[in-house]
Amino acid sequence: MPNSVQTEYANFDSPAALAKDPALSKSEKIRLLKIWYEDEEQLCIASAEGMIGGVDSQLKYVQKALDSLN
């Protein structure tokens, strides 16, 4: 996701990659994925309001990664 603000999850290619990172604890993975989820929700809302274009949502992939940790 292109963004001018560096996010804590920006170094990960995908939500699944974050969920599989052995360097992070389970709680840290969940925390980062929840932030990512909220960011994706905001992108979806903005897109629905016609504010942005051409950005594919990763919302379902973030949810899948969160589900894999439970």
Between 50 and 20, name the one with better pLDDT.
20
DSSP state for residue 57 in the 8-state scheme: -
Report pLDDT for 54: 57
DSSP state for residue 7 in the 8-state scheme: P
Report pLDDT for 57: 82
Report pLDDT for 55: 62
| Domain coverage including residue 39 | 15-69
Question: Looking at the 3D structure of the chain, how many domains does it have?
Answer: 1
- Which amino acid is residue 54, in one-letter code? G
Asked if the structure places residue 10 within a domain, the reply is no
The three-state secondary structure class of 22 is: coil
Distance of CA 32 to the CA centre of its chain: 8
- Is the Cα torsion angle 53, 55, 61, 63 positive or negative in sign? negative
Asked if the structure places residue 3 within a domain, the reply is no
Report pLDDT for 50: 73
1-48, pLDDT tens digit by residue? 444 456 889 999 999 999 999 999 999 999 999 999 999 998 888 877
- Is the Cα torsion angle 20, 43, 63, 28 positive or negative in sign? positive
